[in-house]
Chain A
């Protein structure tokens, strides 16, 4: 489905995750973050970039992986994206939600 985000028509799935990372930009991220109750600041961007790079390399993301990335530790990750950091940060980064098999 299409959704207006930051004045653009963006394709998202039923849970509001982007289905095409090419449609992502910083304005889109900022608006999605606001929906999640997060105001993006300088510290958020390197984390989002890391998640996007891992996704492009087809690496399955986990909290542990983020914690060992050298970009941020787990507590810092929670502080930036409270209440489900991987899920929220993935949506803001324009990449799919981390899922289990069902």
Chain B
């Protein structure tokens, strides 16, 4: 019996367990999946929790419900991977030997990486919304927030779901406007990038949203420290931004066992071939989702598109066939803009988000890079798609793994 071990039962790991148990002959392969958690989190839902749109119940389900019966689920933390011995060592000392390993342990926030962030003011007036605990604590804070300066902040790139902080700023604007408090609340967006938007077409099409909503942008801000007592963030050039409530996206890092295993980069992401998804650590280790260092967005849609290509490459590897270099960096994201509207963006390694129709070229029904109610309904409907289709490894109709350039308005094809 050959052993396939998957580390992590989040979006990417769960969908791979479903793909592999359906595709690999059961009498030849045993699939094992390891995760320390008991619950599967619908992470795109965290964004709605601070505003009372979703509650805890909307984003949690038992992890085992989505792990196929043909896979063995091991609920335990991971101590390390020993690539030279083809073994995973668990925190309880148990050893899992593997023929093929899939790393799908994602990324988590690391507020301890920024001086002063993870101190006595953490979750008092400094919050994240990238964890369930953070989103719930932030809900308690902003429901009583009546006046002052709300700062939405990105510590450093890369982060999971790069549009989420922008969505947070838009939803906060709408939330306080609807409560009649917006005049008393200043909203500032602080980013290490050179703007809230960084791609030319998106900037041209979307800059007006920030102006209309009265959100001030502080660009090129690389944070050095948080001074919790003085309620300000300070960058490497000595620039300061004061806050009453700081909603930050802290440094994002891969899992700690990656560092203990000795093969991560400086943020514990695993060096990975961006087209085949094979690790650069050893040929029998593959990586999917947020855990990779590939220059794609860290997002559930990316994990979904990677999954179909990784399945093919895992089968090819096990059959000693050459891998397909097919992953194109495809991502597809809804961007909430507030007041029941959203944008939709579709892009890959080489093609920036542009206007057009999705998923059916020329027909839609969704419009790309344009605010609409239909896109917002799409985002809400996505929760059902996530639980019922995406993590269970079902193909989503009309949506291909590789990005489709048809139905999109490119000025010129970028290479």
A residues bordering B, Cβ < 8 Å? 13-15, 58-60, 62-65, 68, 74-75, 78, 82-84, 87, 97-102
- 6 A-B pairs (CB sep. < 8 Å): A62-B158, A65-B266, A99-B193, A102-B198, A102-B206, A102-B345
B202 within 8 A of A: yes
Q: Are B222 and A74 in contact, CB atoms less than 8 angstroms apart? A: yes
B244 within 8 A of A: no
B384 within 8 A of A: no
Q: Are B198 and A75 in contact, CB atoms less than 8 angstroms apart? A: no
B266, closest chain A residue (CB):
A68
* Nearest Cβ on chain B to A2's Cβ, whole angstroms: 14
Known contacts: A15-B200, A60-B293, A60-B295. The answer to whether A100 contacts B266 by CB under 8 A is no
Q: How far is the CA of A65 from the CA of B353 in the complex (A)?
A: 26
Q: Are B236 and A75 in contact, CB atoms less than 8 angstroms apart? A: yes
Q: Are B293 and A101 in contact, CB atoms less than 8 angstroms apart? A: no
Q: Are A64 and B267 in contact, CB atoms less than 8 angstroms apart? A: yes
B residues bordering A, Cβ < 8 Å? 156-158, 162-163, 192-194, 197-200, 202, 206, 219-220, 222, 224, 236-237, 251, 265-267, 274, 293, 295, 297, 331, 333, 335, 345, 347, 352-353
Shortest Cβ-Cβ A-B pairs, 10 listed? A84-B220, A102-B202, A99-B198, A60-B295, A100-B162, A78-B236, A101-B297, A100-B198, A101-B162, A68-B266
* Nearest Cβ on chain B to A98's Cβ, whole angstroms: 7
Q: How far is the CA of A62 from the CA of B347 in the complex (A)?
A: 21
Q: Are A100 and B157 in contact, CB atoms less than 8 angstroms apart? A: yes
Which of B162, B198, B274 meets A97, CB within 8 Å?
Answer: B198
* Nearest Cβ on chain A to B368's Cβ, whole angstroms: 11
List, in ascending order, chain A residues with CB within 8 A of B297's CB: 101
Q: Are B345 and A78 in contact, CB atoms less than 8 angstroms apart? A: no
List, in ascending order, chain A residues with CB within 8 A of B157's CB: 60, 62, 98, 100
Q: How far is the CA of A15 from the CA of B266 in the complex (A)?
A: 30
Which of B156, B293, B295, B347 meets A64, CB within 8 Å?
Answer: B156
Q: Are B274 and A58 in contact, CB atoms less than 8 angstroms apart? A: yes
If over half of A's interface residues share one DSSP class (helix, strand or loop), that class is named, otherwise mixed; here it is loop
* Nearest Cβ on chain A to B9's Cβ, whole angstroms: 26
Interface centre among A14, A15, A87, A101 (most CB of B within 10 A): A101
List, in ascending order, chain A residues with CB within 8 A of B237's CB: 78, 82-83
* Nearest Cβ on chain A to B249's Cβ, whole angstroms: 12
Q: How far is the CA of A48 from the CA of B251 in the complex (A)?
A: 25
B197, closest chain A residue (CB):
A102
* Nearest Cβ on chain B to A91's Cβ, whole angstroms: 11
Q: How far is the CA of A13 from the CA of B203 in the complex (A)?
A: 15
Q: How far is the CA of A90 from the CA of B293 in the complex (A)?
A: 20
Q: How far is the CA of A82 from the CA of B237 in the complex (A)?
A: 8
List, in ascending order, chain A residues with CB within 8 A of B251's CB: 64
Q: How far is the CA of A22 from the CA of B97 in the complex (A)?
A: 47
Q: Are B353 and A97 in contact, CB atoms less than 8 angstroms apart? A: no
A83, closest chain B residue (CB):
B220
List, in ascending order, chain B residues with CB within 8 A of A62's CB: 156-158
List, in ascending order, chain B residues with CB within 8 A of A74's CB: 222, 224, 236
List, in ascending order, chain B residues with CB within 8 A of A84's CB: 194, 219-220
* Nearest Cβ on chain B to A11's Cβ, whole angstroms: 12
Q: Are A99 and B266 in contact, CB atoms less than 8 angstroms apart? A: no
Known contacts: A60-B295, A65-B266. The answer to whether A87 contacts B199 by CB under 8 A is no
Q: Are B222 and A102 in contact, CB atoms less than 8 angstroms apart? A: no
Q: How far is the CA of A78 from the CA of B224 in the complex (A)?
A: 12
* Nearest Cβ on chain A to B238's Cβ, whole angstroms: 10
Q: Are A87 and B156 in contact, CB atoms less than 8 angstroms apart? A: no
Q: How far is the CA of A78 from the CA of B335 in the complex (A)?
A: 33
B333, closest chain A residue (CB):
A101
Q: How far is the CA of A78 from the CA of B220 in the complex (A)?
A: 11
Known contacts: A60-B293, A75-B236, A82-B237. The answer to whether A87 contacts B220 by CB under 8 A is yes
List, in ascending order, chain B residues with CB within 8 A of A65's CB: 265-266
Q: Are A101 and B200 in contact, CB atoms less than 8 angstroms apart? A: no
Q: How far is the CA of A78 from the CA of B333 in the complex (A)?
A: 33
Interface centre among B236, B335, B345 (most CB of A within 10 A): B236
